[in-house]
Structure 1
Amino acid sequence: MDWRDHIDSDPNVIGGKVRIKGTRIGVAFLLELFGAGWTQEQVLESYPHLTVEDLQAVFAFASETAEDVRLLPSQRSAA
């Protein structure tokens, strides 16, 4: 799957955030829903204009772009 078929960014829509094409639904928002425990079925029921392919594209995008992220070691002190 090429996520570019489903995801884009427009500076005039939701502040240029990455989104599902033709919608105002941001990729980060959808990832937050999944991170909060939503299922694919719940997302599709709540946002019926989205498709399974749109959601697959979200994860393909996240997977590809996660390769560019580097986290710094935790600064937490041992308690």
Structure 2
Amino acid sequence: MEPSIVSDPKIMLGKPVVKGTRITVEHILEEMAGGRTIDELLDAYPSLTHQGIQAALTFAAESVRHERVFSISNHT
């Protein structure tokens, strides 16, 4: 069974988390953006799996894909 991303108002204020953990998608992205590797995340968070990290990354990519982007032009 592959981990999924869930949102429950009773867990981490409803932020998306890897199912079965309290590890948010946001936290995984922040850690990786800060230079942590997947192996370092797995070592730091024993409840996290490679599949959980992949689920978080896929969720984040899907979230961005569906965002509407508006161009803001600077008039000087």
TM-score, normalised to structure 2, is 0.83
Q: Which runs of 4+ in 1 moved over 6 A?
A: none
RMSD of aligned alpha carbons: 2.0
* Structure 1: unaligned runs, 5 residues or longer: none
Query: Does 1:69 find its partner at 2:36?
Result: no
Q: Give the C-alpha shift of residue 19 in structure 1.
A: 0.4
1:55 aligns with: 53
The percent of aligned pairs where both chains have the same amino acid is 37
Instruction: Map 1:1-79 to 2 at 5 A.
Output: 5-73=3-71
* Structure 2: unaligned runs, 5 residues or longer: none
Q: Give the C-alpha shift of residue 70 in structure 1.
A: 3.5
Count of residues paired in the alignment: 75
